[in-house]
Each structure stands twice: as structure tokens, then as C-alpha cells.
Chains A and B, each alone.
Chain A
Amino acid sequence: MITRRQMILGLLSAGGATLCPGLLKAGANTLIGTMSGWVFEPDRLRALLAAAERVLPGVVGAGFEDYINYWLVREPFNRAADWKPLLNIGAVHLDRIARKKFARVFADCRPEQQDELLVSFQRGEIKARRFSSNAFFQRLAALCAESFLSDPKYGGNRGQIGWHFIGHHACWWAPRRKLPAGLPVY
């Protein structure tokens, strides 16, 4: 008997592309934007978003979900060794540990409970076969920083909120928009 969780984990770790290769290969951002369930199962996504918000407050409102969807469906990044499986399995373990300790899923825990759990992930204290909890934490944290401070064209940094926060003008300074047509080709 295969449980629902095993099936999801199996599918995702084998690469979601086996499920719907055409859709994933197309990598249509607009389509995926409305179909994020294809990238992360809703429960997993909920846990990831809750964790991301604790790692970098404000990152979810700045478009974290759109940002990770953008990269996880795109060739060839969707084939990078650990991204999608790592995030998925990490989300499963977030909920597993939260249920064990606080009798509810991670997203429903109180902020201080979530932080307590995240500390144990960050320190690599969650032991599970073929899963490194600190690698998961580091990947998640790096994606938070990326989505908060990246070019908004990838779905994060909505309204340039991250750039306004750091007051870093050089990021959005884009002379290409001001240059006349007929430029020399370098």
C-alpha cells in the first residue's frame, strides 16, 4: 500500500517532469502563476511560505511564491540536483516535526514555535535518511534573499520593495531604458 505522501515524494524526487513534461518544459510563467500546485503540492507550499516568512519577514508579500515557481519550472534549472526535491522533502519534515512537537502543521504553529523548529533545521539537528536539514535551511534562506532583492522580472521583489528597503539605487538604475535607438553594437 502506497500512502499519498510516499506517492508525492516519489513523484517529486523522480522529477515532476515525468508527470507533465510538456507543461514543465514550456515553463510558461503566466500559466504556472495560476497553477502553482504543479510545482508544489498545496500543503508543502503552505509550509514553505510560512518558513520563508520567518527567515526573511516580508518576503512572501514581495512575491516569494512566484519567484520560486519561476525558477523551478525552467530548463535547465528544474534539473539542478537538489532544488525541488530538497524543498519538498524539507516541507514534509517541517510538518512532520511540527506535528510531533506541537500537534499541528508548521504553518499553523505560532511564530515562536515556528522559529524554534527552524532553529533545529538551521543547526542540522533534524535527522532523516538522505535529508540534510541545514542544507534545506540554507537553500531556503538563499532563495529568500534572492527573491527579495532580485530584478522584479522574476516575480519576487514586487514593486521593488526589497530595493527600496536597502536604498540601493544602483540595482534599479537601468540606463538601457533611456538610451536612444540605433546604438553601437559592442
Chain B
Amino acid sequence: MGKAERTDVVVIGSGAGGAPVAVTLAEAGARVVILERGSAYTIRNFTHDEVGICRRDFFVPFPYPGHSPHTIRKRGQDGYRLTTEGWVGVCVGGGTVHMSGFTYRFKESDLRLRSMTGGIAGADIADWPISMDDLLPYYDLYEARIGVSGKAGVNPFETRKRPFPLPALRPHPAARMVDEAAGPLGFHPFPTPRALLSAPYGGRPPCNYCGFCGEYGCENGAKSSVAASLLPQAEKTGRCQVRPGCMVTRILTDNEDRAAGVVYQDARGKEHKLEARVVVLAATAIESARLLLLSESGRFPHGLANSSGLVGKNLTFSTFGKGTAIFERHKLEKKLGPEGMDLPFLLRSVQDDYWNEKNGLLLPKGGTYNFLLHHPNPINAAVRLMMESKWNLWGQKLKDRLHEYFHDELWVEFEVFGEFLPHSGCYVDLDPRVRDGFGLPVARITNLHHPASDEVNKFCVRRGMDILNAMRPAPKKVWPFTWSSTTYHLQHGTCRFGTDPARSVLDPDCMAHDVRNLYVTDGSFMPSSGAVPATPTIMANSFRVAEKIARRFRHHEIPA
């Protein structure tokens, strides 16, 4: 290891949690270094290569020994297996590069779940130590900084006071069918807000409506990933440097229980020491917990910032359900006309069941129903058709079916984002048997669902199916794709924040109770998963925390 380098702030991870802190502190005058273990891609790397990107895991490490697997035990499995599950976009920009960009906000019922329910048996839920009023200005800020499109004032359950920075994207004409079906059933469908540009913004071009958003990098920069928006803004200050290919292996501490900096390996495998006045950890809920557990020392024998024993515990994902309806294009064209039939986005969401005391379930909460068109991935479609036929569909029958799918069908689907209750059966720890390419124990994930989460998700799928069935012209087939599974790239909770150091890892400002200049700003801080994708909330919170850190710098509360 060479001579130690010094900076003001080191940020571990360049995604939704890291980039807002980096840009805010760099603009406030701090010298910031972002260490990102993945590569830096340009838009030239982002093509519609379904095999390379989706089926050979372009964005995440290979799940083989010597690379960087996770190990996982899911429901119904006995032992732990090697997996890619739990990895989120390992590249500059993190998961925001390949996100779909559904940008819903959290609601009061997400932050006050414990007090509003009075507690759920077997679940370890906690109220957030901050209020919606603390978050709202930062939701507005993140939307303006990255560029979010949507229509305000339509969703009666929305927590917003200001319009979106950009108007809503153009929906496929079948959105009208969702509106006509959902309204009479008592729902209030609204245009799904997206982190995609509907008009030029900040020097970036608008969306070209190719439809390859989820799983893919955006080929013209219209998706508002932090790599397209915040990171260039941070680098423009001249005080922020993004270093790709740099894997942090340890957070260092001094004798006064302060973080002294980090040790990392660069892309060539050379080890470096980087000293910093503030360390910000934002490597995803799973990898951040792993790094804290790996950074044990004499003073922190059970892992850094882990006096509560809660690092890695209370891991939550998002429960996932999905239903599909098949419509015949020629019938749709008869009703809706030919105009816009090739548009890729349906852009309709429903949140009427978000808080629902009448659902008769243990958890009086539903989720978000996101209506969308089937992803344009052709191989996925072919394999799905075969799988759902129990592999009976092959030969000429398969070819005929593929032709029908691509030429005369429109698949309308809804996805459920549901509350994933934290409980003792879902956590991350260090695998005692499997090591990664750096010789470090890999993250071991245990994922069992709380039964109440599954119940709610099934309820939500039934409700979504009601809407699909009510659409006209009638679909030729409607079926539930899954009643309740897990969305692994939405992950939270492993370093929950709170006021009591015995029952939380971070304080309300997301600073570790045990280490006064260590912050965690990815989804780790969240004591509840919410019933929407958390990326916007992670970004808003990261901007909030950044202002707290900047204030401490200004008030000379952080030693040089």
C-alpha cells in the first residue's frame, strides 16, 4: 500500500444513495472522492443486446466462485446457493442506470406503519424518526436535479404540492382502456411518474420511446440515472472525482471511534489507503451491511457501527405480484385507431389500496398497481411462452405462437409493489464458506417472507386482475403470473435509523450511532420498505443527509 491520500469526503458507491451526497457536498466546497467497484459506461455501451445485458448479467458480477457471487436461501430451499440475486447495477450510476424509473413517493403510512397498525405479530416494524415534512422538499429537489416527468394533481393519494419538472410522457392509447375500466370500479388511475425526460432537460435529449428502459442502460441519456444527471454535475465542480473499478475492502477507524478513511483495491488490484474527514457508505443495503461487518476491529468486534447487533438484520425487499392480459391488436385498433399503437409505455398506476383498513387482513395496507405493457425483450417473451405452456410449446407450434404474439397481440400487465415486512427470517450476514475474488466472505442472504406480506400481495394481485378483466374490448386471456415473489434489486433496512442506539444503527441524520463521521445513505436506513420502489426516497433522503453534513462542515463540527 502506498502513501495515504487525503480528501474531505469519501463516498462508497456511485448510485442513488451516493451521488446526491457527492454533488451536494462538492457544490458546497468539499473535496469528494467516489469509489465505485463497477465500470464506467458510456451510452455507446448501451444497446438492445438482450442476451448480453439481460441473460448474461451485464450489470452484475458473475455468480461463480472467484467472481462475486452472493449466496441465498429462499423459501422452500434447505441450503444456501450461489446467486446474482441481491446485486444491483455494479457500475458508475449503480442501479439507476438500468432502472425502469417508476418514481413514486412514499406516504405517511410508510413512515408511520408501526403506530398506524399498532404493530404486526412477528414483524419488527418501526416508525421513521423523521416526518413527511422533512422529506417533501427533498423529493422536489431530487426531481428537479435529475429530471422527472409526470402529471400532478391527478393522484388523490399523492404527497406533493408542486408540479413535476416535466410533463408526462405519451402513453399508449390502451391507457384509456385502463382508465375506463378502473374508474367504475372505484379506482383513481393516474399517469405513472417516470425518471425519463419527456422534453430536453439539462442538456439531455428527450426519450426516444424505444421502450428498453428496465434492465437496460439508456442509449441517449434520456433516462435520469445519476450517471446521466448528478454525477456530471458533481464532476463539473472540479471537486468531485469518480473512480471506477475501485473496491473498498475495509473502513478504517481511529482511536476515537471515528472513521479515518478506507482501504480499496483499484482496477489493477493495487491496494490504496484513502483518508477522509467523512465516510459516506452507499453500496446497497446488502453490500453496505457486508462492508460494515467486514470492517470489524478490536474496538468493533462484531462489525463497524454494530453495537446494536442490527447491521444486516431487518433486511427488506419489495414483494412482487403480476398479472397479464392478452389483447388482440386488430380489435384495439378498431376502438382506439392506429395512432400511437407502437408506443411502448402504458403509464398508468393505481394507489387506492395503498392504505386499506377494509381489506380484512393482518396488514391493513395494499400496494401500488403499476400497469404497463410487456417488456419488448423478444427472447424473454419466447421463453415465457414456452415456460407457461410447461414447455409443451415447441416446434412449428412455437413458431406460429411467436408470430401471433409479435404481430397480433398486445400484452397489458400490472406489477404490484407491496410492503415487505421486516422480520427475523430475512437478513444478510457473512458467508463462512464462500469468498469472492478479493478473498473476502461474500454476503449471505436469507429471504423468508412474513406471511402477512404474502397475504397482502395476493389481495393486490386479485384487485389488479379485476381491472384487467374489466378492460374493453375484452382480453382474450387474463392470468396471474405470480401471486407473491421478491424484487431483489429493491433492498432496504440493514442499518435502520432511529433515535435509540440500542434499537437502530443510524441516527435520524443517517449517521452511525457508534461512529460520528460515518453516514449510510443507501436504502439501508429504511425501517420499512414502503409499497413503492424506494429509489426516489433514497435520493431524497441522500440530499437531506448531505445538507446535514454540509451544515456540520460549516459549523466546524467535523475535525480536519
Binary interface profile of B, 193-216, with partner A (CB < 8 Å = 1, else 0)?
000000000010000101110000
Q: Which of A112-150 contact B (CB under 8 A)?
A: 115, 118, 122, 134, 137-138, 141-142, 145-146, 148-150
Partner of A146, one of B62, B379, B405, B407: B379
Chain B, Cβ-Cβ closest to A169: B342
**A68 to B48 Cα, complex, angstroms:** 20
**Nearest CB in chain B: distance from A177 CB, A:** 10
Task: Choose from A146, A165, A186 the contact partner of B51 (Cβ within 8 Å).
Answer: A146
**A141-186 with Cβ < 8 A to chain B:** 141-142, 145-146, 148-151, 153-154, 162-163, 165-168, 170-176, 179, 183-186
List A contacts of B40 (CB < 8 A).
185
Q: Which 3 A-B pairs have the closest CB atoms?
A: A145-B382, A166-B406, A186-B228
Q: Which of A71, A122, A148, A179 contacts B394 (CB 8 A)?
A: A122
Across the two chains, which residue of chain A brings its CB closest to B66? Answer: A76
Known interface pairs A134-B391, A186-B221. Does A171 touch B383 (Cβ–Cβ under 8 Å)? Answer: no
Q: Verify A137–B391 contact, CB threshold 8 A.
A: yes
Contact of B406 with A167 in the complex, beta carbons under 8 Å: yes
On chain B, the residues within 8 Å of A184 by CB distance are 203, 221, 232
Q: Which of A58, A142, A183 contacts B43 (CB 8 A)?
A: A183
Q: Does B67 contact A (CB under 8 A)?
A: yes
CB distance from A122 to the nearest CB of B (A): 5
Contacts of A166 in B (CB 8 A): 378, 402-403, 405-407
Whether a CB of chain A sits under 8 angstroms from the CB of B75 is no
Contacts of A146 in B (CB 8 A): 51, 55, 379
Chain B contacts to A: CB under 8 angstroms: 40, 42-44, 46-52, 55-56, 62, 64, 67, 93, 203, 208, 210-212, 218-221, 225, 227-228, 232, 344, 376, 378-379, 382-383, 386, 391-392, 394-396, 398-399, 402-403, 405-407
Closest to A173 in B: B210
What chain A residues lie within 8 Å of B62 (beta carbons)? 76
Residue of A nearest to B376 (CB): A170
Please, which residues of chain B bring their CB within 8 A of the CB of A137? 391
Query: A114: nearest residue on chain B (CB-CB)?
Result: B395
- Asked if A186 and B376 sit within 8 Å, CB to CB, the answer is no
Residues of B within 8 A of A122 (CB): 391-392, 394
In the bound assembly, the distance between CA atoms of A162 and B49 in angstroms comes to 14
Residue of A122, A145, A165, A184 ringed by the most chain B CB atoms within 10 A: A145
Asked if residues A165 and B392 are in contact (CB atoms below 8 Å), the reply is no
A55-B398, A80-B64 known; A141 vs B391 contact (CB < 8 Å): yes
- The docked-state distance in angstroms from the alpha carbon of A171 to that of B227 is 24
Q: Which residues of B have CB within 8 Å of A183? A: 42-44
A46 interfacial contact with B, CB 8 Å: no
Contact A170 B212, CB 8 Å, known A151-B50, A176-B44 = yes
29 cross-chain CB contacts under 8 A: A54-B394, A56-B394, A56-B399, A57-B395, A77-B56, A122-B391, A122-B392, A122-B394, A134-B391, A141-B386, A141-B391, A142-B386, A149-B379, A150-B379, A151-B48, A151-B50, A154-B52, A165-B403, A166-B402, A168-B406, A174-B47, A174-B48, A176-B46, A183-B42, A185-B43, A186-B93, A186-B218, A186-B221, A186-B228
B394 near A154 (CB under 8 angstroms)? no
Find chain B residues with CB under 8 A from A142 CB.
383, 386
State whether A57 and B378 are in contact (beta carbons under 8 Å apart), knowing that A165-B403, A167-B406 are contacts in the complex: no
CA distance A179 to B208 in the complex (A): 14
Point out the residues of chain B lying under 8 angstroms from A179, CB to CB: 43
- B47 close to A151 (CB less than 8 A): yes
CA gap between A77 and B405 in the complex, in Å: 30
Contact partner of A149 among B42, B47, B208, B378, CB < 8 A?
A: B378
Q: Which of B40, B210, B405 has the most chain A CB atoms inside 10 A of its CB?
A: B210
Q: Name 11 extra pairs, CB < 8 A, besides A170-B211, A186-B225.
A: A57-B396, A118-B394, A141-B394, A151-B52, A165-B399, A166-B406, A171-B48, A171-B50, A175-B220, A179-B43, A186-B218
A176 and B220 alpha carbons, distance in the complex (Å): 8
Q: Which of A76, A150, A154, A170 contacts B67 (CB 8 A)?
A: A76
Q: A79 within 8 Å of B by Cβ?
A: yes
Inter-chain CA distance A98–B406, complex, in Å, is 35
| CB–CB A186/B47 < 8 A | no
Contact at B49–A151, with CB atoms within 8 Å?
yes
A108 CA to B220 CA in the complex, in Å? Answer: 50
Q: How far is the CB of A183 from chain B (nearest CB, A)?
A: 6
**B395 near A54 (CB under 8 angstroms)?**
yes
Whether A115 pairs with B64 at a CB distance below 8 angstroms is no
Give CA–CA (A88, B264) in the complex, Å.
Answer: 43
Q: A186 to B42, alpha carbons, bound, how many Å?
A: 5
B residues in contact with A162, CB < 8 Å: 378
Distance between Cα atoms of A58 and B402 in the complex (Å): 13
A17 to B103, CA, bound (A): 47
* Contact B394 A76, beta carbon cutoff 8 Å: no
Q: Which residues of A contact B44 (CB under 8 A)?
A: 176, 183
Contact: A165 with B402, CB < 8 Å?
yes
Complex Cα distance, B67 from A149, in Å, reads 29
Question: Are A149 and B50 in touch, CB under 8 angstroms?
Answer: yes
* Given the contacts A55-B398, A167-B406, A186 and B378 also touching, CB distance less than 8 Å: no
CA distance A76 to B82 in the complex (A): 14
